[in-house]
Chains A and B, each alone.
Chain A
């Protein structure tokens, strides 16, 4: 990820939280009944907490802008290619789990993630993935009676 973006990450996150508060307030006002202090309705608490979120976020943004830009310690050494690939594998996994079925989807995505995590070659990731996906599937299906999504195979 670009260094300039990372340096501004604290500010970006603070503004993102403010936006959540504003969206929360607008949606509460437009779609919920607010009521009054004496007779609060279902939208009263969402509106109140959106307002509080906005107030604290504004204070937070002011404090963030008083500080110079710097990359948060935890983001300094992130391998961003791995990061986005990890998220991508998770998203693909969730989208395909109903179509392919739990066992097949887990096998494919686990193999990909084992490679991503640094396991060398293809034989080991495929074998491990086969064994672990079968074990997880069997554990949840037979031992815990959880009806895992079944797709084209299992």
Chain B
């Protein structure tokens, strides 16, 4: 009850005209910049942060929250409309969001994304309000072995949802993790796979990589495959909001995935990204029509969007109560707090309760304003698809190049994008799961650090480590069981198809 009163106080502090204006400006700018390919949450917050210098701390926090949520929604817009995820957390949104857009339901997908994000965020906020300190203790009790088990579990789940191609999923996960090893090793400082190329010492930039394997690949398809050029998609604006059937199909998904997202998001590391994959996998296995996933259904958009927003709030638990940011966007958020004289940490809640609860309230306000201003704008975003493809696609190509350059101010990164796009086009065409490749790269440092830490701690005996840490053993066992189960199913299907071919001949 005490927490609730403090939260209400936070709302009271936030509800001034200036603060609400800050939230609106933040959301609008965040969406506008976040929609540019390559500029995900981190890029957008970094670019717009200087705007908040000189503001009152609470107003600045509200604007930063607006920018944060706006850019997250901007990432969903590019995922849905042009199949280019700005961040790892938006990859799963492409699976069904883009097919929906291709079927003339772009507005619907965008509305579902905005509403699901809002509900996910609200549930996440409630979780954060009532369980912040207790949950932080649980999250902190996780050691290297649990981290290792969770990452392997996530990667196995990812390959399990690759449909018929689990083996191909495993191949590209390994390739992704291997690509993640390029650059200076963070533990020993030695160069790996750099071939004396200076630009490779800092590794392969994740955002550059996904802009290549998703963005350039998609643009190649749109320009070079006549059937993918798609006639200009016709739709009526009044059909672009979710109808009763969509709501009926998605509301349970949103609730389930928000709760799951909050739980997974507590795991330090790539919580939000894993949450989207877990949510999608869970909904697919619970669904009565799992084969429809990936073809453009509302549940496929609602699941990752609600999960990643709830997970984002959960990620604030270690950030605010312990001062530990576990993702790049959280690190940037913490930097933004410090710029305004707020240092998150164990004493933050007790010493600055007004700011802590003001921040939670401001995030909620940012979430509401985003929903209020973006639902009417859905038609405007969806209209982008009405622009002639022969103009839109070349234009997006060069905005993608500029966005790719803006991350590290590196022309080399532009080249990496082209190479990744070229290779990604053939890999994707041959049935390899690009999401598995991208997430393998993203989780590579976490996986390596957790694995090496476990091996060092238990003198090279992984079984002893798992036996000692039962939670890790359970997590890993579930992952392996799920993977083996889905692999056996697809192996049977493969041999059955072979037999049928032979008997047919």
Q: Which residues of B (157-202) have their CB < 8 Å from a CB of A?
A: 167-168, 170-172, 174-175, 177-178, 181, 185, 187-188, 190, 192-193
Cβ of B456 under 8 Å from chain A:
yes
Known: A42-B190, A56-B170. A50 touches B394 (CB 8 A): no
Residue of B181, B389, B418 near A87 (CB, 8 A) is B418
Interface size on B, residues (CB 8 A): 65
Residues of B within 8 A of A117 (CB): 223, 389-391, 393-394
Q: CB-CB contacts of A86-99 with B at 8 A, as 1s and 0s?
A: 11001101100110
Instruction: Please determine whether A36 and B460 come into contact, CB atoms closer than 8 angstroms.
Output: yes
Residues of A within 8 A of B405 (CB): 102, 146, 148-149
Binds A, one of B1-9, B94-102, B114-122, B408-416: B408-416
Q: Which residues of B (26-71) have their CB < 8 Å from a CB of A?
A: 33, 47
Cβ of B73 under 8 Å from chain A:
no
Report the bound CA distance from A9 to B394 in whole Å: 27
Residue of A37, A45, A140 near B406 (CB, 8 A) is A140
Report the bound CA distance from A56 to B406 in whole Å: 36
CB distance from B48 to the nearest CB of A (A): 9
Q: Which residues of B (189-217) have their CB < 8 Å from a CB of A?
A: 190, 192-193, 216
Residues of B within 8 A of A104 (CB): none
Residues of A within 8 A of B414 (CB): 93-94, 97
Residue of B nearest to A37 (CB): B460
Binds A, one of B313-321, B335-343, B352-360, B396-404: B396-404
Residue of B223, B411, B427, B455 near A37 (CB, 8 A) is B455
Report the bound CA distance from A77 to B221 in whole Å: 10
Cβ of B13 under 8 Å from chain A:
no
Cβ of B451 under 8 Å from chain A:
yes
CB distance from A17 to the nearest CB of B (A): 6
Instruction: Please determine whether A79 and B398 come into contact, CB atoms closer than 8 angstroms.
Output: no
Q: CB-CB contacts of B349-378 with A at 8 A, as 1s and 0s?
A: 000000000000000000000000000000
Cβ of A82 under 8 Å from chain B:
yes
Q: Which residues of B (414-446) have their CB < 8 Å from a CB of A?
A: 414-415, 418, 421-422, 426-432
Q: Which residues of B (73-118) have their CB < 8 Å from a CB of A?
A: none
Q: Which residues of A (1-20) have their CB < 8 Å from a CB of B?
A: 9-10, 13-14, 17, 20
Q: Which residues of A (90-116) have their CB < 8 Å from a CB of B?
A: 90-91, 93-94, 97-98, 102, 106, 109-110, 113-114, 116
Cβ of B227 under 8 Å from chain A:
yes
Cβ of B289 under 8 Å from chain A:
no
Instruction: Please determine whether B223 and A86 come into contact, CB atoms closer than 8 angstroms.
Output: yes
Instruction: Please determine whether A149 and B455 come into contact, CB atoms closer than 8 angstroms.
Output: no
Instruction: Please determine whether A49 and B431 come into contact, CB atoms closer than 8 angstroms.
Output: no
Residue of A nearest to B440 (CB): A49
Q: CB-CB contacts of A54-85 with B at 8 A, as 1s and 0s?
A: 00110110010010000011110111101100
Q: CB-CB contacts of A121-143 with B at 8 A, as 1s and 0s?
A: 00000001000110010001000
Cβ of B220 under 8 Å from chain A:
yes
Report the bound CA distance from A73 to B221 in whole Å: 12
Residue of A46, A49, A59, A118 near B167 (CB, 8 A) is A59
Instruction: Please determine whether B181 and A60 come into contact, CB atoms closer than 8 angstroms.
Output: no
CB distance from B13 to the nearest CB of A (A): 31
Cβ of B459 under 8 Å from chain A:
yes
Residue of A10, A28, A77, A82 near B223 (CB, 8 A) is A82
Residue of B178, B398, B399, B406 near A50 (CB, 8 A) is B178
Residues of B within 8 A of A13 (CB): 426-427, 430, 432
Cβ of A154 under 8 Å from chain B:
no
Cβ of A153 under 8 Å from chain B:
no
Instruction: Please determine whether B170 and A42 come into contact, CB atoms closer than 8 angstroms.
Output: no
Residues of A within 8 A of B187 (CB): 42
Interface pairs (27), CB distance under 8 Å: A9-B426, A9-B429, A21-B174, A40-B455, A40-B456, A46-B181, A49-B181, A50-B178, A56-B171, A72-B429, A73-B429, A75-B429, A79-B224, A86-B224, A90-B418, A93-B401, A93-B414, A113-B397, A116-B223, A116-B394, A117-B223, A117-B389, A117-B393, A118-B390, A132-B395, A140-B406, A144-B47
